[in-house]
Chain A
Amino acid sequence: DAGVIQSPRHEVTEMGQEVTLRCKPISGHNSLFWYRQTMMRGLELLIYFNNNVPIDDSGMPEDRFSAKMPNASFSTLKIQPSEPRDSAVYFCASRPLQGTNTEAFFGQGTRLTVV
C-alpha cells in the first residue's frame, strides 16, 4: 500500500485566496484525521471523520475552514479565504479500525504558505 497520500506537498497562495488540501487514506481505513503542525501548538487536531461522517470538528479554528469526506477514499480541507496565520504544515492521518487501540498512519503533509 502506498500509505496516506496528500496533495499538494507545497502550496503558496496569496491572502484571500481559496486553498484546497487533499487526502487519500489507506484503503480499508475508516477513520480519518486532519492535523495542523505549528511551533506553538504542536500537532493540533482540526477534524476527525469516522466512516466518512465528521465526528468532531471542535478543532477547526474558524468558519473559514471546512472539511469534507465524500467517500471512503478521499477527503479535502478547504480554507476560504486564506490568511497568513494559516501558514503551517497540514497532515492527514488514517486509522484501520474504529473503537480499538490502533495507531494512526500519517501522510507526508502539505506545507501551506499564505503571503
Chain B
Amino acid sequence: DQQVKQNSPSLSVQEGRISILNCDYTNSMFDYFLWYKKYPAEGPTFLISISSIKDKNEDGRFTVFLNKSAKHLSLHIVPSQPGDSAVYFCAASATSGTYKYIFGTGTRLKVLA
C-alpha cells in the first residue's frame, strides 16, 4: 500500500514558467514532509521541507504548500530553469513514530529551453 503517492510520473514545462509537482498521502500521522531532487547516477539531494504546523515554506525559487485536510502537498518552482530537470521525490514521516521517511514514486520534470 503506497502511503505517499505522486500520480504524475512526468511533467514538461517551458523555461521561465512555473512548475507544480503534486504529492498525496494517506497516513494522517505524517507531520513532516520533504522534497528531494535526483539527477541520473546520483543520490537524491534534499530540497525543501515543511512541518505540519505550517502551510507554506519558501526557499528562493522553491515553495512547498501543505493542505492537511486534503492530505496534499505541492512543490512550486518559479521560474523554472533547465537545470531543474530531474526526478523529484516527495517524502513523509511521523515524528511521533520511528521517524522513517516514506517516499513516493517520483515525478520526472523536464524544463524546456
Determine if B105 and A48 form an interchain contact, defined as CB atoms under 8 angstroms apart: no
Q: Does A25 contact B (CB under 8 A)?
A: no
Q: Determine how close the nearest CB of chain B comes to the CB of A94; give it in whole angstroms.
A: 11
| Range of interface residues on A (Cβ < 8 Å) | 20 to 34
Is the C-beta of A71 less than 8 angstroms from some C-beta in chain B? no
A26: chain B residues at CB < 8 Å are none
* Majority SS at the chain B contact face: loop
Chain A: interface secondary structure? Answer: strand
CA distance A98 to B95 in the complex (A): 10
Q: Is A43 an interface residue (CB 8 A)?
A: yes
Residues of A within 8 A of B51 (CB): 101
Interface residues of A (CB under 8 A from B): 4, 31, 33, 35, 40-45, 48, 50, 55-56, 91, 93, 95, 98-101, 103-109
